Amino acid sequence: MVRALLARWKKWRSSLRLLQPAHVDPGRAKISIAQLGHRYANKVVALHDVNLNVRTGEFVCLLGPSGCGKSTLLFALAGHVEPTGGTVSIDGKRIHGPGPDRLLMFQEAALFPWLTVRGNITFALAARGIPRDERRARADTFIRRVQLTGFEDSLPHQLSGGMKMRASLARALAVDPAVLLMDEPFGSLDAQTRVHMQELLQSIWMRTAKTIVFVTHDVQEALMLGTRVVLMAPRPGRVVRDLEVHLPMPRSMEDARLTEMARHVRRLLRHFEVPDSEHPTPPPRRALPARGLLRPSPLPSR
């Protein structure tokens, strides 16, 4: 039994070496968030002193429970929310509203019901000023990339939920924003379709190296997709850990290392779900070392 525990402990340590604290120089960041705070009119503090820097080409997952400010932070990046404190900048320019350098994808596909798959994409391209003679070819290229060939002329009501989301993804990629913002885009899909969409998005990111900020409350989804996982806690919404994921891509949900990392991240999130004022006793200092990794409990003696 001791040997089995020792083997598991070594496997646990090996997996957690793949999670390391992120350190990004603000001067080299594409996205820079400094001392960001936001208080809604009902006095709810959605964000407090959020500092986050994202490099070009990173896939950053914002992970945390409902009410931790993930979507508020994403909407501030999109320019749909004017924060009450701090700054949000892209390429050194402060954000003061929506812009063509960013595109926000919601949980719903948000396709025009009277337009076909190709029509939805070419409409978005026209809005971006793409010449008419380029729109169809560009739309068909991204339809192929999301594996919707044969459904170019289908209307949204003729598509499954997963196919609608693929069409929405094709539209987002076709307009080629510098930053793609995704707010739980796979949350309404069934489990099997969700995994398929995760694999598809992973393969597209590996091909394009698009800068993506992705909101989710699914720990394994964040670890499968993200080059970085930013843990957020509620009341008030804040960043509590910023971890780089050094697990090579492509990744699989069946990877035992991903499972071990997910178990560790869930323990971190559980600790931070309760506000400091509600902790009955302070957590032991050894539970959260400076490097941000929980230490294993001592092995039992023989």
Could you identify the residue written with the tokens 């995994």? 195
Q: Is residue 162 part of a domain?
A: no
Q: Is residue 69 part of a domain?
A: yes
Number of structural domains the chain divides into: 1
CATH number of the domain that residue 43 is part of: 3.40.50.300
Model confidence over 93-130: pLDDT tens digits? 999 999 999 999 988 899 999 999 999 999 999 999 99
Domain that holds residue 186: 2-101+177-287
Q: Is residue 77 part of a domain?
A: yes
Q: Is residue 134 part of a domain?
A: no
Model confidence over 122-177: pLDDT tens digits? 999 999 999 999 999 999 999 999 999 999 999 999 999 999 999 999 999 999 99
Q: Is residue 131 part of a domain?
A: no
Q: Is residue 68 part of a domain?
A: yes
Query: pTM of the predicted model, to two decimals?
Result: 0.85
pLDDT of the residue at 188: 84
Q: Is residue 92 part of a domain?
A: yes
Q: Is residue 149 part of a domain?
A: no
